[in-house]
Structure 1
Amino acid sequence: MSVKDFRNQILSSSEEKIVGVNKKDLIDKILARYTSKFVIYRELLQNSDDAESKSVQIKFETEMNTDKVIRILYKNNGFPFRSEDWERLIKIAEGNPDKKKIGAFGVGFYSLFTVCEDPFIFSGGQGMALYWRENNLYTKQGERESADDWTTFLFDMREPIELPDVQEFARFLVNSLGFTENLQEITVHFNDKLVIQLSKKIQGPKFTMEIAPEFNRLSSHELFYLASVDFRDVRLNIERLLVPDTCTGKFNQISPSSIFLSIASGNLDVRADYEFSAEMKRITKKELPRETTIQMIYTKFDEQTSSGDCVSPVFKDLFPYPEQGRVHIGFSTHQTTGCCFHLSARVIPTVQRESIDLLDMTLAEYNGEILCLAGTLCRILYENEINKINRRIVNNQSLEWLEEWAARALTHFTFHTTTPNEQVGEITESQFFNCSEEKLAILSTVGILPISDARIPNLEMLGFIKTVPLVPTIILEQCKTFFKKAQSMKLIKELNVLDVLIELENREFSENEMIELLKWLISYLSKGNFIDASNFERFMEIARIGNDFRPLKTIRCFLNPGIIPSSVDIPDYVLPYTISKNLKSQDLIKWFKWSELSLIDWARFISSKPNLETDPTFVEKVYGILARNFNKFSIDDKRLLRQLFEQKKCIPTKFGMKIPNEAYFEGVNLFPDLPTINFQNSSNIKDLMEHFGVRKIVGINLIIDRLTNHDDCDYMQLIKYLASKSNDLKQNEKNILKSRNIWPKYNQGSQQIQHYVISDLHIPLELHRDLGLPVVDWKVRWVRNTPEEKFLIELGIQQYPTITKILELAAPTTYSDIRYKALKYFINNFDRKYYRNYYADEINVAFLPCLYDNYAKPLECFINPECTVMSFKVINRDLQHQVGKLGVRQNPNREELLSKLLQNLPRDEINAEKVFGYLSSRQADFNHSDWNKLATFDFIPIRNQSNGIVFTRPCKCFFKFQDELKDLFLQIDFGEKANRFLQSCGVRDEPSSIEYAELLINSSHRLWQLICVEKYLNILRKIANDFSSFDNMASKIGLVSQMKKAPILVAITKKNREINSEMKETKNYRLGTAKEIYINDDKIYQGIFNPLTAPEEDNLEILYKKLGCKSLRDSVKQASIPKGSIRVTDKSKKFQEIIIERASLFYFKYHKNDITSDYEWLKKLKVRGIDYIETIYTLGDTKKTRKDNTRILRDDNKMDSWTLYITSNSTSLDISKHIAKNIYKSHEWKNIFAVNTLLTGSLLDLKEMGYPVNRLLQQVYGKR
């Protein structure tokens, strides 16, 4: 039976029992959750208000002469208890069924039991006493006649308690009175003394507000609909408040006080569906009401400001500003509202009745929907306040007062994190911002606007933003939290670049505003902000400065007054100094790409002014600025500066304004009619005037013109004058002196004067005259290092012959005495005068004397006399130690040596020995390419059979080889030194393997006849060692193929011959092709057929195999047939046992790669006796038949079954051969002997040899 079926069986048939409840413990546990102070009065006041009481009286009775409370009387004048009320009172957790009430004497009533054990209630002539007996609560009820309309609660204290603090208790009662529907008066007595009297009065009629159509009146899930909003004002009064003095024990009267509160009521229609209503009823035990009300309690702005600090502390909790208000459900809970308003609503609290239930899914939806419309009500109240402010603006009220009002309104509705449940504030705040289609309105500097149209101000921008709506400073400072949140929600932006652009488009800026604008922009960009190119371009277009409102985009420069004074004229593309002086230069450069107005740009601007050519005072001021900063000009700018002024009549002189080139400095007085400059202070502008072209000396053309046209012209005096003014001469003037034919040439014995360009003349030294060089005409003795010499040298007079001239004089075309002096002068002065311009490879004059009366250029002759053997020119011996610096080399280089050798081949063997000997000493100069070239060139002289000289290349010659090969190869010997050179060229001691191979292919039989077998084999051995490289030689394609076909290989046959009465095996040798010869890898087959076999050498066998020789073993085919009866003999049995016993030893120290048949195969091998074995051997076309004593054969039709057949004549060695042949890949004699040892040796002998036989020995001894 399943658990479900068992449950159903019990429910249908078993006896039922009621569950017992420990009522006292249950109530104690419930009341443990009611932890708030004054919770008893909270519940009683709530129930009194639900009973429509107008007044409540609370009386504390104390013991005689003490302050300890022993009894409390609580009375209200609401409607008396009805029968159902009495019934509900004695049922735990059955509250007021009125769907408009939160509760009436449900669990809350039992809070009385926190201080008493037996409360008594009297109402409507009836009384009920409640008392405990053990853990059960009992009641007794009675009636009496009474005209008292008040309901009274009497409860004696379980233990005496302290009187409540008057002010604290009064604050609690005032707070409760502010949120009651019906209750209007509360009085408190200590015994018979009235200590607290509070009252509440409605002020004026209720006002219903019209809700704007842009508001969404439905809650988020459409559970509630905001039908209307009412406003009313109430007045709370403290009519009497006696506070006891702790020192004297007397009561002090507190002055009466009152406050005014505004209550905004949102009247909600309930639109719940059936399922939701049913679920609420299940939870709350009540039907949902058709309508309910939410209230916001607050104080008006003018009332807040007028009350100030005069409000009694008792009213403190009713003034939440600037703190959060609380949610009230007839009384205050711990739940905050998030803003500065108290919210009263019939939300469902938690069990403790201290906070809103948002855990249960149904209650969370119900409460959340109420909170949702609380957010809507908040928004309506806020917009109502803003509308009031807007009306006051129209009436021209004080703007500061209105800003304070707007700030207070905005602060009231700035939501903060709510406690203890954050969801309360989140729900309310979300609806506050989202309930209207219109943006939240705020007060801006231009009036009430949607929040998105206003901007948060930037302090750096206040100096120039005048028309863009801003959040007023008062509002911003008091509502920082709100605007921070609004920014994060993207409701409002801070002043930005686009706003600046709008401001610029709407009006013209003053100069001060422009300064502030530029300061802000620089600061903005310096903080890492970015302005896209289009907006920056727009900014530079619409931002205008100056009286003519020029756009900033026309500005390119700013002024540095330290360079150019602000008092002078400047171009209109320069930012006015009155603006730029307030800004940093580096910022203007970095952010606007403006540059400091350069002197050259200012000079270009000022040079266009007309008064530059008319007003000497203006001119002197301009030149003063340029002169002070002259050294700051770059070379190019100085050149441009000169161009700007040099053609203008801008230089004041004693003969008026002149162009710079026509004016002279004051000290120039060579002629009296010269226009000299005329400044008040010319010393400061000397460098500038000189740069402009003002002359320091008389013009060259003028001097030449005046002096050369007179017969008595004194050239020496002219030179002295010009030398004295050399530093003042301009370069173009010096160029005239250099290029004009005005300088006289010395002509010995002639009176005729010839004029030359100065560079064609030499200084008048005796040596120059001896060499026949043209010298300047100088009447007196020439003195070195005088100003005149220095000046002429500067103009280009030749101090010594040019390199071209001196080499021309040293060449053999001149007279020998001049030639000798010229060469000597050139060599002696080379390091001091000529080496810088001397390039040996560019010299085309053969001026160097060589042996045998030859002359040569520097690169055509050499110092080493040995090179004459190759017909090279060699310098004269007396100059050999002096011409190295002239580029003459010790020896020819490798290119010259090769060229000479290949163009002038050695005449005979003697000449060749000398040439090759010299080249041997130069081997280090040649590179790899040179040797390759020599190796293939025919330059080695050889005597032919007719005694004539022919030339061959190094690769075809050899120094030494077998004498028998002399007719087959060329042999040379030019001596040890020459041979070293030839060896480097490629001459070898003997032929290579490839050359031997070619020799064998072409002349194997001839060579076989010339040399013995061993020498022939040596050649084959050499070929075998190098054969791996044959296939890689592209030039020898087909060589291997020819070797395979030609009879070049030594073949062996064996024959037994009688020698000295003894039969001995002899070998016969002959030549054969690879196809005819076999590799002798099977001695048995060799003995049977005696074919042509290769020499038994590893290297040769490898060569023979590569050339195509076949394996003898693989070439022979055999077929064996056992003859006679197959039987087990003593001999076969013996070998069978040995093989099985010692099978593993046959593989000892053998790698698996060396084995063809493994251990399992050998153990299965059968050994049988037979008469003999007949075997037919076939090699090519030859067949041989033999009777064998031993053979291992596969059994008929059995792939894995083999038998070793033996005869009485089979020897252990014969058996060993066949076993080794079948189990090892290699069956050489060492393998055969190893098998023979295993077959014949004792176990102890095998152990001595290192075989692992211990286990076998144990088995043997165990059997014994």
Structure 2
Amino acid sequence: MSSKKRSLSTKLKDIPKDSLDNGFEGQVTINTRMFIDKALARYSSDFIICRELIQNADDAHATWFHFEITCCPLKDLKDFQSSQGNHPVRHRSTQFISEISNAFRIFKPNTQMSPLSEGSHASNNVSSERDFHNYCITEIRANNNGRVFNETDWERVMSIAEGNTDVDAVGQFGVGFFSVFSLCEEPIIISGNEYMVFMWENDVLSTVRHEMSDEQQNQSTTIILTLKNYYKLLTDPTLTAGNQYKSNKKMSDIEPKIDLTELKTYFTKASVHIDDSFHQEIRQILKKDLPTTVRITLLFTPNTIIEQQLQSSVNEDINAKILKSLIPLRSNKNEIIPSGYVFIGLGTHQSTGIGMHVFSHFIPTIERENLDLENPHISKWNQELLLSTGQIARFIYDQTMNRNSFINNKQEAYRFISSYSFEPSVPNNKIGDAILSGFFHTTHELFVSVQQSPSNSEVCSISSKQAYLAHSPDIYTFLTLPLVPYNLVRTKFFKHLERLKLIAVVNHTIIEKTISDTVLLLEEFINLVRWLCKNKTSLQHIFSSITYRENITSSKISLKNIQYYINKNMISSILPLPSNILPINVSIRFSSNELEENLSLSKYNSRQLVDFYLLDNQHYLLRNADTSLQVLNLICQQSNQFRDSEWHSVKSILSSIKCIPTTQGMKIPNQSYILSTIPLLPEVPKITINLANDDQNSKKINKTYQQSTDASSDFVSKEFLKQIGCCTFHLQSFIAARHASSDERIERLIQELIEERSNMTDIEFEALKQTEWLRGTTNIYYIPRQLCFPSVVIELNWPTLLVIDWPDIKSTSQQYLFLKQLGVREVPDLSLLIDRISQEHNAKSSNEKKNQHKYQLPKALSYFIKYFQQHYSSLWTTAHINQLFLPSRSPTTITNDDDDNNNNHRNNEVILSKAHQLFQGIVSHDMSLNIFI
């Protein structure tokens, strides 16, 4: 150090001594009014006095507190102002009283009624509160039954600048008595048998203390404040000037009736061990000692009140409003949000971040609105209390979870956990962080509510180390793990558990392992597939490891070999599918794109299904009435896709299986009959399948039959059934119907048969040709080939010939051709015609036979010759006709073969000969011509 600096330092040390020897003495004065005004300026809340007076009453262990308001009409305001002397009342239109006007009693000027009165006058006064609307407030009195002032208290009030140093008597944070000067110039305190009046002399505040008269003494404390500003009282916001309140409803009807015992409170007292050096630092700041015992109180809301708040609609009832303002939770669209605050007697603006109000010996800022975390020593004190608060909250949580008796479902669990959501605290987030640290400080096992399976909505309590969080609601629908309910996962509580690694979070590895060890139910499986479609990571590996069952009692289904899916409209869900096809009750829940793109499945076509159902081990499906209909429907739809050889194989398989549902049970196709216009006999197996047919008449018949049976809604083509061998024509039923209709005309009958022809098989039509069912001109039934057309009778003049009873039938008509197909003859039978030739010949006279010039050939023979080439030539070679039917003459050489013939020959008569006798060479070819001369 240089000599110049050393000299300056010596001179500075001599200043205090030199000032005492040579300086002028003066006194530092304090402007009390300015000091109080600056102190009040630190209070940011409106009407801070109310809070401070209640706080002081509580610190004095009061059990009741009364807040009295004295007011006067506007017309009397001047008289009131003049009574104020040097302190005129200034107009100040403020509504600070309006919010509490329903909660405190109001008194008229000069009223001697005590606020403690509970008699009939009280009711009258309350009922007239509306009369004070827009009155001027002139005086406020705060009265409580706390401990009356002792000498120390009076002295402390006299020296308010020093603050309160008696923690046990008035308050550990100092008397907030500065606040009274925000409303009143000269407040008055009455306590026990003494009173004190504050008075101003310029800017200096002084007090006068005196003893009360005996009749005025009591064991309460009252602070009287004559207002220095003009405030307007609003007892009813709905009233305006000139609008009188006309309702007769009494205000006493809505007096608050709140059972505050419904709110739960946890009290804790703890001894405090404080380091001496730390305590000394605090004394320097607070001017008082820290308490040796601290009380920590937590107030929280039971589930019953939370439920009421969630279910209640907009409620204007004052009780509901007050209760809502007291509870440390608020609801917003069914969401419960923690709204606990820190209390230091009255509430501060500092939230706790949890759904609990917290009260303890916190040290606040001078405003008493927030905790002081700026000063390192005060901050440490507050931090320790906050950590202890978190530990107590954890203790409450653990006790509740251990009981677990009232948490039975997700909603109850959500209402409970909402108090522990640990939202960021405001305005200082360090408050919530400290409570959060205290809550998780303990190493004890933490229990949480979980649901054990997707099908069980009840919750139970297990260790967080055994529980899981899932961040997708879809996971809850299929994963069988102890999962924290999804409505709880979104709360901050479980976010903190996840951050601190106190609980596991479900990932793909956990899902894959769990699924491989679990047999899912159908809905769980469906939900899993939906989730896999959204989350493709490890999709194929998880999908192939799935095993599920339709219900608890059904068999397991593995997806290990699944490669295909089937169109939901292709087949009924009652049919079993190949093992490599995704079950249809699953695939119908998803789009084709999801199945192909996400699950990598290929579409299985109908033709492949037909091949599967025609396998030997699947024939049991064809023998069952329900499943057979579905299989036949499928085969019918695909029948046009088969090649001829394949279709022949299909028909061969079906024709040998009892696969047709009928009224007589399951039958093979050729024993089953399709309904037609011809009524079937009762014993005939009638097909009960719904038939797809364009013919309107057939549709009408099918519809009528369906109304009397429980037929399936699926259809099978009639043509398909005919192709596989089903019958459409029952001969016995036809004959029975024919016999039952004796008056039925042949024309109508043949027309019906023509219409039925397309429904007949070749076998049925052949049987119809061989059966006696067709009438002739008599009532006897004949086989069609036994009858001839009427034109034959006319041409042959053969009245006894059997013909159909249809004289005017045209040979070119459809009916003629149909009857011809059935066997009705256009010419008589060869043998009958030969017999007719013999009959006609024998009917001729003897002279006619002897004279060949007079001999007329029989008409039957002429008919035979005429139609021989067209109708008889093919029959002639096989008929072996041995009858005598050809007219002839004996040749010149006479034989001895037959005496009668020889005689006839000798007489040259025309005789009938056998065909072989005329054409074996004994006669020339020309001889045959001579026969017909």
TM-score, length-normalised on structure 2?
0.51
- Partner-residue secondary structure (3-state), 2:14: helix
- Partner-residue secondary structure (3-state), 1:419: coil
Kindly indicate whether residue 46 of structure 2 is the aligned counterpart of residue 37 of structure 1. Answer: yes
Q: Tell me which residue corresponds to 1:413.
A: 420
State the 1:459 CA deviation: 4.5
CA contact under 8 A between 1:446 and 1:469: conserved in structure 2?
no
Q: Deviations over 1:157-209 (max 9, x none)?
A: 324434475999xxxxxxxxxxxxxxxxxxxxxxxxxxxxxxxxxxxxxxxxx
CA distance in 2, matches of 1:582, 1:13: 102
CA distance in 1, matches of 2:422, 2:436: 6
Q: Tell me which residue corresponds to 2:809.
A: none
- Partner-residue secondary structure (3-state), 1:596: strand
Could you tell me which amino acid in structure 1 is paired with residue 364 of structure 2? Answer: P
CA contact under 8 A between 1:563 and 1:629: conserved in structure 2?
no
Identify which of 174, 180, 199 aligns with 1:131. Answer: 199
* Greater RCO, 1 or 2 (C-alpha within 8 Å, sep 6+): 2
Could you tell me which amino acid in structure 2 is paired with residue 328 of structure 1? Answer: F
CA distance in 1, matches of 2:213, 2:571: 114
- Partner-residue secondary structure (3-state), 2:70: strand
Kindly indicate whether residue 561 of structure 2 is the aligned counterpart of residue 554 of structure 1. Answer: yes
- Partner-residue secondary structure (3-state), 1:575: coil
Identify which of 319, 326, 334 aligns with 2:327. Answer: 319
State the 1:352 CA deviation: 1.1
State the 1:264 CA deviation: 1.0
Could you tell me which amino acid in structure 2 is paired with residue 280 of structure 1? Answer: I
Q: Tell me which residue corresponds to 1:871.
A: none
CA shift in 2, pair 1:582/1:249, >3 Å? closer
Q: Tell me which residue corresponds to 2:399.
A: 384
CA distance in 2, matches of 1:595, 1:495: 31
- Partner-residue secondary structure (3-state), 1:375: helix
CA shift in 2, pair 1:154/1:591, >3 Å? closer
State the 1:423 CA deviation: 2.1
Q: Tell me which residue corresponds to 2:919.
A: none
Q: Tell me which residue corresponds to 2:292.
A: 290
CA distance in 1, matches of 2:230, 2:568: 93
CA contact under 8 A between 2:449 and 2:459: conserved in structure 1?
no
Could you tell me which amino acid in structure 2 is paired with residue 154 of structure 1? Answer: I
Q: Tell me which residue corresponds to 1:514.
A: 525
Identify which of 355, 367, 383 aligns with 2:382. Answer: 367
Gaps spanning 5+ residues in structure 2: where? 78-134, 331-336, 452-457, 623-627, 657-720, 725-933
State the 1:507 CA deviation: 5.0
- Partner-residue secondary structure (3-state), 1:391: coil
State the 1:276 CA deviation: 1.7
CA shift in 2, pair 1:254/1:607, >3 Å? closer
State the 1:369 CA deviation: 1.7
What is the number of residues matched between the two proteins? 550
Kindly indicate whether residue 355 of structure 2 is the aligned counterpart of residue 340 of structure 1. Answer: yes
Q: Deviations over 1:527-553 (max 9, x none)?
A: xxx228xxx546523525686635322
CA distance in 1, matches of 2:387, 2:564: 62
Q: Tell me which residue corresponds to 2:61.
A: 52
Identify which of 15, 25, 29 aligns with 1:20. Answer: 29
CA contact under 8 A between 1:340 and 1:411: conserved in structure 2?
yes
Q: Deviations over 1:45-81 (max 9, x none)?
A: 2223222333444433345856333333333333333
- Partner-residue secondary structure (3-state), 1:352: coil
CA contact under 8 A between 1:118 and 1:131: conserved in structure 2?
yes
State the 1:406 CA deviation: 2.6
CA distance in 1, matches of 2:146, 2:651: 116
Q: Deviations over 1:1149-1180 (max 9, x none)?
A: xxxxxxxxxxxxxxxxxxxxxxxxxxxxxxxx
State the 1:609 CA deviation: 5.3
CA distance in 2, matches of 1:374, 1:426: 12
Q: Tell me which residue corresponds to 1:70.
A: 138
CA distance in 1, matches of 2:153, 2:650: 120
State the 1:293 CA deviation: 0.9
Identify which of 146, 163, 180 aligns with 1:112. Answer: 180
Q: Tell me which residue corresponds to 1:572.
A: 579
CA distance in 2, matches of 1:150, 1:437: 49
CA shift in 2, pair 1:93/1:416, >3 Å? farther
CA distance in 1, matches of 2:618, 2:299: 84
CA distance in 2, matches of 1:25, 1:564: 95
CA shift in 2, pair 1:611/1:496, >3 Å? closer
Q: Deviations over 1:405-427 (max 9, x none)?
A: 33222122223333322222232
CA distance in 2, matches of 1:293, 1:368: 15
Q: Tell me which residue corresponds to 1:422.
A: 429
Q: Deviations over 1:1032-1069 (max 9, x none)?
A: xxxxxxxxxxxxxxxxxxxxxxxxxxxxxxxxxxxxxx
State the 1:371 CA deviation: 1.6
State the 1:118 CA deviation: 2.1
CA contact under 8 A between 1:268 and 1:291: conserved in structure 2?
yes
CA distance in 2, matches of 1:111, 1:28: 10
CA contact under 8 A between 2:342 and 2:359: conserved in structure 1?
yes
Kindly indicate whether residue 547 of structure 2 is the aligned counterpart of residue 543 of structure 1. Answer: yes
Could you tell me which amino acid in structure 2 is paired with residue 343 of structure 1? Answer: V
State the 1:8 CA deviation: 2.8
Q: Deviations over 1:767-799 (max 9, x none)?
A: xxxxxxxxxxxxxxxxxxxxxxxxxxxxxxxxx
Kindly indicate whether residue 168 of structure 2 is the aligned counterpart of residue 95 of structure 1. Answer: no
Supply the RMSD in Å over aligned alpha carbons: 4.8
Q: Tell me which residue corresponds to 2:591.
A: 584
Q: Deviations over 1:776-830 (max 9, x none)?
A: xxxxxxxxxxxxxxxxxxxxxxxxxxxxxxxxxxxxxxxxxxxxxxxxxxxxxxx
CA contact under 8 A between 2:516 and 2:545: conserved in structure 1?
no
CA shift in 2, pair 1:427/1:100, >3 Å? farther
CA contact under 8 A between 2:449 and 2:485: conserved in structure 1?
no
Kindly indicate whether residue 323 of structure 2 is the aligned counterpart of residue 253 of structure 1. Answer: no
Q: Deviations over 1:1007-1047 (max 9, x none)?
A: xxxxxxxxxxxxxxxxxxxxxxxxxxxxxxxxxxxxxxxxx
State the 1:504 CA deviation: 4.1
Kindly indicate whether residue 226 of structure 2 is the aligned counterpart of residue 156 of structure 1. Answer: yes
Identify which of 126, 143, 149 aligns with 1:81. Answer: 149
CA contact under 8 A between 2:306 and 2:415: conserved in structure 1?
no
Kindly indicate whether residue 449 of structure 2 is the aligned counterpart of residue 442 of structure 1. Answer: yes
CA contact under 8 A between 1:456 and 1:492: conserved in structure 2?
no
CA contact under 8 A between 1:334 and 1:355: conserved in structure 2?
yes
Which one has the largest radius of gyration?
1
Q: Tell me which residue corresponds to 1:987.
A: none
Q: Deviations over 1:1195-1229 (max 9, x none)?
A: xxxxxxxxxxxxxxxxxxxxxxxxxxxxxxxxxxx
CA distance in 1, matches of 2:246, 2:578: 92
Q: Tell me which residue corresponds to 1:10.
A: 15
CA shift in 2, pair 1:114/1:260, >3 Å? closer
Q: Deviations over 1:1082-1140 (max 9, x none)?
A: xxxxxxxxxxxxxxxxxxxxxxxxxxxxxxxxxxxxxxxxxxxxxxxxxxxxxxxxxxx
Identify which of 583, 591, 594 aligns with 2:601. Answer: 594
Gaps spanning 5+ residues in structure 1: where? 169-244, 394-398, 632-640, 657-678, 683-1264
CA contact under 8 A between 2:362 and 2:385: conserved in structure 1?
yes
The structure with the largest strand share of the pair is 1
State the 1:493 CA deviation: 6.2
CA contact under 8 A between 1:571 and 1:605: conserved in structure 2?
yes
State the 1:342 CA deviation: 1.8
State the 1:522 CA deviation: 1.9
Could you tell me which amino acid in structure 2 is paired with residue 520 of structure 1? Answer: W
CA shift in 2, pair 1:139/1:519, >3 Å? closer
Could you tell me which amino acid in structure 2 is paired with residue 43 of structure 1? Answer: E
CA shift in 2, pair 1:4/1:77, >3 Å? farther
CA contact under 8 A between 2:562 and 2:581: conserved in structure 1?
yes
CA distance in 1, matches of 2:70, 2:590: 82
Percent of aligned positions that are identical:
27
State the 1:449 CA deviation: 2.4
CA shift in 2, pair 1:145/1:332, >3 Å? same
CA distance in 2, matches of 1:127, 1:566: 95
State the 1:349 CA deviation: 1.0
State the 1:583 CA deviation: 3.1
CA shift in 2, pair 1:630/1:4, >3 Å? farther
Could you tell me which amino acid in structure 1 is paired with residue 534 of structure 2? Answer: S
TM-score, length-normalised on structure 1?
0.38
